[in-house]
Amino acid sequence: MRLQRQFSGQLIAIDTNTAIASGGEGRIYPIAQDPSLVAKIYHKPTDEDADKLTVMFSMPPDAPIAEPGHASIAWPIDLLHTVGGRERIVGFVMPRVNKVLPIHTFYTPKTRREQKPLFNYLYLHRTARNLAAAVNALHARGYVIGDVNESNILVTDTALVTLVDTDSFQVRDPYTGYVYRCPVGKPEFTPPELQGQTFRDIDRLPEHDLFGLGVLVFQLLMEGTHPFAGVYLGNDEPPSLEARIRSGHFPSGTKQVPYRPMPAAPPFEMLHPRLREMFVRCFEEGYRNPGARPDAKTWVSAIREAEDALLTCSKNNQHKYGNHLGRCPWCDRAKLLKGRDPFPSRQAVRGGLHLQPLKTPRKKPLPPPQVREAAPRRQQPATGLPRKLGQYQPPMLPMLSTSRAPAVPAPPPGKFERVFQDAAWGAVWGSLCLAALAGVFSTLTEGGGAILGAIFVGSIWGSFFGMMWGVFTLAPHQMLQKWVGVLLGAIWGAFFLAAIGGAVFGAINNNPEIGHAILAGAGSGVVWGCIWGAFKPPLAVPVGRVWGRRGGYLGAVWGSFLGSLAGVMLGAGYVIWEYLGRLQLTQDFVGVLLGVAIVAAGVGSIGGTISGGLFGVFGVAPKLPVSFQPSGVKGGFLGAIWGCFLGSFAGAVLGAGLSAIFPNFRTGLPLELVPVVGAIVGAGLGAIWGVISGIVWGALGKW
C-alpha cells in the first residue's frame, strides 16, 4: 500500500502483512523509512475522521516531559492520504513507543512482581505524577480524553508514561464549534453522573476525565485496588461496581456507606495525608459537585509532595513509605501475604525468590527472613531480567525553578494573555511602520537628508549584523543563505533607522503629521494584535475534500485575500494609467493612489469573501499551502492570507459601525449609503493592513 504524508509530501510504503497492533477502528504498521514512527490506517476512514485529525494536527498539546526519544502523548504528527485519483485521508503518522507495558502491569502486584520486580513505590508515585502531567497538558489545550482506562496508558520501566489511542479523544474545533465526541468508555473509570449514559450523545468535560485519573492514581498507590471496591455489608446481592460508583459509595471516605475496605488492600492511612484529602475530594465531594474534583495540575503537586516525603526502609531499600508512618507498612504487608513481598529486595530478585510458590504452612515457626533467604538463594537459578539490576533511574520531570514548586510544564498562555501580548506587539509594530512611512514620505515631499542618512547607516549596520549571523551560524556550503542574511539585515536595518529617523525628524521639526501617524499606527497595531490574538486561525485542512462547512470557511479566507489583491492591482493600475505622464510623485498623486487602492481593496475583499464562501461550500475552495506553525517565507505567505481575511472582516464591521454612529462621516452621502461606504473603506484599510501585519506575524512564527 502506497500512501503520502500530507504535509511533508513523503511517499511511504505500508506492508499490510506487518501490522504491529490491530483494533476495532484500524491497524498500526511500522514505517520502513523511519523506525521512530508508525502509521495507523483506518478500516473504514470517514470524512469526519479526516476533519478531526486535521484539528488535532493543527493544535498539538505541549509535551509535558522533554525526554529524548519519548513521547508523552502519541499525537498525530502528519496525516496520510491515498495516492492517485481522489485523494482521501485514511490514517495518520504518530511516534513509535518502545519497551512499554500497559499501566496495569505495574500497579497489579502479581504482574509487577513477575515482569518488573524492581519497580518500587517511588516509581509508582512517579508514574502517577507523569500521568497527571500528561492529562494536564491535554486539558490545557482544550482536549478531553473521554475513554480513560488502563489499556490506553503505557509505561516504561523508568516510569515514563505515554497516552495512546489519541484519535479517540474528544476534540472541539475552536473555529466552527463542532465537537468530535468520544463514543466509548469503561464503566469502572466513568464518573457517577455519566454512568448508564450513551457517550455518543454527550459532550465530555475535563472533570469527567478527572474521575478516571483519580481512579488510576488510587490503583497505582493502592496495589491495584479500585477505590470503589469493598466488602458489602448488606444481606442482599452485592451491587456491581458501576452501581457503587453511581451511588458514590467510597469505602475509604469519611461518610458512612454499606461497605468496608477490602481486607487484602493496603490501609488507606498508608497514603500521604494530602493524597487522602485529594481522594476524598475526588470521590466524595466530586460525587455531588463534579467541579470539586482536583484538576490534573493539583494532582501533580500533591503527588510530588507525597513523593518527597518517602523514606527508605532500613531492612529492604526497595521499601519506600511515607514519613508520617511510624514503621514500614511493606514489611508488615509481606508478612500478611506469607512472604510474597510487594517490592522484593534486589537480593531476592537475583536469587529468584520473588517468584517462588507459597510454601505450605509448617507446624514449627519459620526461621527469621535473613536466615531463610541465605541458604536457598545459592540454589536458585538467576532470572533473566531485561536489564541489569540497579540501572533503573526514575525520570525527573522538567523543573521550572529551584523551588519546591510542582514539576509541571508552564501551561500555554490563556486567550486574554495571548490577546494582550499580541496587542502590545501590534502597538510596537504599528508605531515603527507608520514612523518609517511618515519619515520616508516627508523626505520625498519636503526633503530631509537626515532621514536618508539614517536609512543608509541602518542598511550598513544591518548588513554587518546579517553577515556576522551568516559567518557564525551557517555552514561554509550555505553561501547563498549568508548573502540572504546580509540582504535581510540591510532591509531590517534600513527599516528601523527609517522609523527612528522619522520620529526624531518629526520631533525636531515640530511636525504633527508624523506624530499623528505614529499614534495611528500604534492604535491600528493594537486593534490588529487583538484581532490576531482573539481569532487565532487554523493552519491546516484535509487534502482533497474542502467543501461544506469547512470549504465555505476556507473559501471566504481565500476569496478575501485574492479579491483584495485583485482590487488593489486594478485600482492602482487605473490611477497610474490615468495620471501617467501628467503628475509627478507628489502628495496629490500619492493620496489619489492610496484612496483608490483602499476602496478597490475593500470592494475586492468583501466581494471575494462572499463569493469565495459560496463557492467553497460546493467544493471549489483550495487547501492552505503550508502546515502547522510555519515561519519565514511560508509563514509570511500564510500570515498574509489570514491577515487579509481577519483585517478586512474587522475593518468592515468597524467602518460600518463608526460611520453609522458619528455624524461627521455622513457628509455628502445619502443616509442609507453611509454604512455601506464605511464598510468598504474599513474593509480596504483592514485588508491592506492585515496583509502587511500578517506577513510580519507569520514570518516571525507568531501563531
Catalytic residue list? 147
Dihedral (C-alpha) 310, 311, 316, 318: value to the nearest 10 degrees?
30
CB atoms < 10 A from the CB of 98, how many? 12
Tell me 196's DSSP state: T
Enumerate residues 6+ apart whose C-beta is below 8 A from 462: 488, 489, 490, 491, 492, 493, 494, 496
Q: Rounded CA gap, 427 and 518, in Å?
A: 10
Three-class SS of 225-285: CCCCCCEECCCCCCCCHHHHHHHCCCCCCCCCCCEECCCCCCCHHHCCHHHHHHHHHHHHH
How is residue 520 written as a grid cell?
A: 495611528
Q: Rounded CA gap, 256 and 277, in Å?
A: 17
Q: Rounded CA gap, 676 and 296, in Å?
A: 51
State the DSSP H helix or E strand holding residue 29, giving kind and residue range, or none if neither.
Answer: strand 26-30
Segments in 141-253 forming alpha helices (H): 206-221, 241-247
Q: Which residues of 260-286 are buried (b: 16+ CB within 10 A; e: fewer)?
A: ebbeebbebebbbeebbebbbbbbbbb
Tell me 87's DSSP state: -
Q: Rounded CA gap, 259 and 244, in Å?
A: 10
Q: Rounded CA gap, 687 and 703, in Å?
A: 19
Three-class SS of 277-296: HHHHHHHHHHHHCHHHCCCH
Tell me 402's DSSP state: S
Cβ 231 vs Cβ 262: under 8 Å:
yes
How is residue 354 written as a grid cell?
A: 520473588
Dihedral (C-alpha) 515, 521, 523, 529: value to the nearest 10 degrees?
-150
